[in-house]
Structure 1
Amino acid sequence: MSVNKMAVEKLFESDDFLVVNKPYDMYINSDDANEKNTVTCHIASHDSHLSTSSNPLYFVQRLDYSTSGVLCIAKNKTTAASAGKLFEKRLTKKYYMAVIRGHPEFQLAEIRYAVGTDQTPHNSHRMSVVTNSTSASNSRPAHTRLLVMETGYYGGDPVAVVLLKPITGRRHQLRVHCHAIGHTILGDYTYSDRGDIAPHRMFLHATRLVLPLQQKPLDIQTAEPFFNDPEFTGKWKSLKVFYKYRNKDELVAACNDIDREYIIGVKYKDFSIQ
């Protein structure tokens, strides 16, 4: 595998934490010393995720190989434990941007399908949802909120730019929830049944993380990830803008709305087992 040449951008650094902008198609770490396409290799050494390292790092969250965006890393066990508790207690706020296939018939959705391991043969790496017609093993409750910000076309195909807020934190939760409601994330090879291979990346990006640390709360945000990419903009045509989101203040305003339980005047959809 070729090494991803994209830089790992530092978004914030203190004595206790390092927050970076992880490129898409890059591993966080690897036990294989020959695998250089990792965040750890770019910012430290290949073994820095191990406790035996001379300068260990502690990843308090995970991002899939294909997902880009905010990644928080603790520099010591004490801060890793305190941050880990905030994630466990759901006191953190995580916001993702994604481009999904199709034009949703709603603007705001609550997706409350439990997530578990896919029971289909040869699909053990996939997750699945529990709905009225599907099942999954070892399933746990999962909840995602989705806000449509803009509709348009990518290479002539209908797509939408959405803001996603995971309330829970299950493996592949955002990807499998979008797939379950009929709006698979653009470029998601796994959940398109290996069919969506034309896009150069999977369009899922962790754009903002709010970590309410007792000493000093962190609110880390990346620049807008997709419209600075000429491979995307060359194929994009806008249809309708519901929310402006291209700069940081505009995105924060959208985050404030997705935080609300209900937005007056917005078409709402609840996806859950009836």
Structure 2
Amino acid sequence: MSESLDRVTEVPELTGDEIQSRVLHRDGLMLVIDKPAGLPVHRGPKGGANLESSFDALRFGLPRPPVLAHRLDRDTSGCLVLGRHRKATASLGLLFKHGRISKTYWAVVEGGPADNEGVIDMPIGRLNAERGWWQKPDPEGQPALTNWKVLGRGEGLSWLALEPITGRTHQLRVHAAAMGWPIVGDNIYGNGPRFGEPRLHLHSREIVIPLSRNKDPVRVVAPAPAHLLDRLRRCGWNGE
């Protein structure tokens, strides 16, 4: 199977104005932007629309465009951190590597846990060599830890806050599916469609970055995207 199965709906590249309108935080060291669902961060081997192609519009006076400090899956929306110059990008990379940056995702899942909060401690490994970026629960795999909390329930759905303590590929998607409550719209690990709706209901809601020793951490929140709104409301979300 090809990566094209992860393309629920093609999304065009952003114009300069569009990506500038998605800047949630900007300082001399970094930007945090609100990544749209459906657009990969990198250009694929066969080309195609991607987020990086629009980064030149985010120079804001600097000689070079910003660089990704981490990545989000194609169909995940929300907070994405960019380093504005080489030294800043290296510092951010170390913070991500050592787990200093806290991330909270919102997910709408099918069914849901019986309890209201808990921890998933479940190692993850590659599914097989042919699908190297697909993952599975694997006792011999890399440690993977996720904190979760139920924020609301309704109509056979649950709205969760997920905090990945480790940063494994597809960690939240694999963990949720393995617990019996797959993320709505997950076409790899859950019951999502190959094409069409619903899109993956996973959103990088908040990120907290302790970039400067002498200043409070930078906290950035990304608004809930349009494709999550209906099911969030069914779970009791009041729009804040």
Is residue 119 of structure 2 the alignment partner of residue 110 of structure 1?
A: yes
Q: Within 1, Cα distance between the matches of 2:162 and 2:77?
A: 14
**Distance in 2 between residues matched to 1:33 and 1:197, nearest whole Å:** 20
Is 1:151 aligned with 2:153? yes
Matches within 5 A, 1:1-274: 3=12, 7-8=18-19, 9-30=22-43, 35=48, 37-44=49-56, 55-119=64-128, 122-130=130-138, 139-153=141-155, 158-192=156-190, 199-214=197-212, 216=215, 217-223=217-223, 225-226=224-225, 229=226, 233=229, 238=234, 241=236, 246-247=239-240
**Which of the pair has more CA radius of gyration?**
1
C-alpha deviation, 1:212, in angstroms: 0.5
CA deviations 1:64-86 (Å, max 9, x no partner) are 00100000000111111111111
Aligned residue for 2:219, secondary structure, equals strand
Give the drift of 1:38: 1.8
TM-score, normalised to structure 2, is 0.80
What is the DSSP-based 3-state SS (H/G/I as helix, E as strand, rest coil) of the residue aligned with 1:27?
coil
Query: What is the aligned-residue identity percentage?
Result: 26
Specify whether residues 33 and 116 from structure 1 end up closer, same or farther in structure 2 by C-alpha distance, changes over 3 A only.
closer
After superposition, the Cα gap between the structure-2 partners of 1:201 and 1:87, relative to the gap in structure 1 and judged at 3 Å, is same
Q: Gapped runs of 5+ residues in structure 1? A: 49-53, 248-274
TM-score, normalised by the number of residues in structure 1 = 0.71
**Structure 1: 4+ residue segments shifted above 6 A:** none
| Contact 1:186–1:199 (CA under 8 A) maintained in structure 2 | no
Unpaired stretches in structure 2, ≥5 consecutive residues: 1-9
RMSD, matched Cα: 2.8
